[in-house]
Structure 1
């Protein structure tokens, strides 16, 4: 059974926040030192508040629901994506893929592609990705994104990011 993908609501904020933090732990386990990763992914209340704020402000967030209706709150959402107006002053295109994550159990299932499709379709878009995140880079390249030479430091996890663009 394919996971349902739908727009997130404020009522989904806690489950989505759990997905967000757990996805970070899974995706960045080989990129971020364990103590820093745990510190950056332990505040569920703060992450839930961020989800609530973004949703109340009308920012579109798509979530993929676990097909198991009995799943615990931390496993109810198994992926998400978000897009909006480009946040960079030198944005190469007007649309930015702000986030896309799936739980590790979903890697390779096609769920990421489905979340990308609902977030940005075939439109031109930019995104930021950790330059050493080879799995994510492979996914984005397969979906038409190429590096445009822009780099920046992410202070939250202490890693370098590169900007990718699909025209």
Structure 2
């Protein structure tokens, strides 16, 4: 990701969670870039806002309390086809108060389709799907059908391991 996303670019964190990826993207895009972050939970947005403020990077990020399936409507049209990176962490909010609030295929597949339309040629889309929650074991099959459109640099389904509750990446939200 760091080798593709350049300073001055725009990126999207489709599921801000605890804000680790949002902070990473804000650092990558630099002072001239911008990040759009989506989450339906105010708890996630508050944690992310606090993390960004502590790092002095709050002004680089627009946080939106809405589902990631609305990203194409929320990201200004001038950036469609020009986004450098979109990151997804599918599952639930780690440490959150409501583990029943999870990402679902009904909203995630349209969000992935929108993300592919937003990406610039050579842009990066990452998806991490956690299985350590009630909806996790179902995720690979519904999402395995993937988006209806892909870019020349994207393939579907992506090949990546899924983490479990005890095996999280350090910087996952």
* TM-score normalized by the length of structure 2: 0.33
Higher strand proportion: 1
* TM-score normalized by the length of structure 1: 0.33
